[in-house]
Amino acid sequence: MKVIANWKMHGFKDDYLHWYKNLSKTADENLFDDLGIAPPFTLLDECKIHQSKIKLGAQNISHLPEGPVTGEISAAMIKNSGADFVILGHSERRELHTETEEAIKSKILEASNHNIHPVLCIGEPKEIYVAKKTEDFLYSQLQGSLNDLNNINLSIAYEPIWAIGTGDVAKPSDINKIHSIIKEICSREFDVKLENIIYGGSVNDQNSKEIFEQEHVNGALIGGASLDGHSFGRIANNFFEIHNG
């Protein structure tokens, strides 16, 4: 999946069908294979029951396989609910739940062992961006969560923290450059197969076309603008126009 809706902590049972109907009115259902949705855990079953074209994902998993870990959800459990992928290491989890690189690495392994595609999020805070130290920062995030892993298939979402939910989208040419650097680091340093590299941070139907046009951008991870089915559909159409048109 290349264009992914991250609903974060939004959505109730009835919302999904309504969202899907609006999405189908706006975008061509035949192209939905490239789309993904990561709803809250509580809606995974609901999404699975009502359609199978859009890939289904969770927003997190435990770094442990099972056991007495109150409040956690395992890779096997999301697989059982029909998940195809999982978003890992999102900056909101790193910040609010002090998620470490070690824990993220274990989660990547857990996901991979259960045949769930990991979408690893990395991205720099504003002060690093301003100090022009983004490359070093991303390198150390990648080192921390990919070092020592073997033969892992994954996607990476580059999400500069300062761009998330701020309306302050990164410049398309900068995104392209960072993506090519991330690709280069991954192929040089780690035993991973990077399936897609996607951008996240204030993507909407107005700015997505120019982002999708960049050579090293394979898709997008979208928060706020993905909550409305029409809006997500318009972003998907911008993607389809460039990649299927």
Give CA separation, 93 vs 60, 106, 110, 120, 126, in Å: 9, 15, 17, 12, 17
Binding mask 49-88 for ligand 13P (x = CB under 6 A): ----------------------------------------
| Site membership for ligand 13P, residue 122 (CB under 6 A) | no
Binding mask 153-192 for ligand 13P (x = CB under 6 A): ------x----xx---------------------------
Assess whether 10 carries a catalytic annotation: no
CA 209/CA 245 separation, integer angstroms:
13
Other beta carbons within 10 Å of 245:
7
* Three-state DSSP state, 193: strand
Assess whether 216 carries a catalytic annotation: no
**Backbone dihedral angles phi then psi of residue 243, each to the nearest 5 degrees:** -100, -15
Q: Closest CB to ligand 13P among 93 and 105?
A: 93
CA 162/CA 235 separation, integer angstroms:
21
With CB under 6 A as the contact rule, the residue among 6, 26, 74, 238 that binds ligand 13P is: 6
CA 88/CA 96 separation, integer angstroms:
14
Q: How far is the CB of 92 from ligand 13P (least distance, A)?
A: 7
Q: Closest CB to ligand 13P among 36 and 150?
A: 36
CA 85/CA 73 separation, integer angstroms:
14
With CB under 6 A as the contact rule, the residue among 22, 177, 224, 242 that binds ligand 13P is: 224
Q: List active site positions.
A: 90, 159
Sites of contact with ligand 13P (CB under 6 A): 6, 90, 159, 164-165, 200-203, 221-225
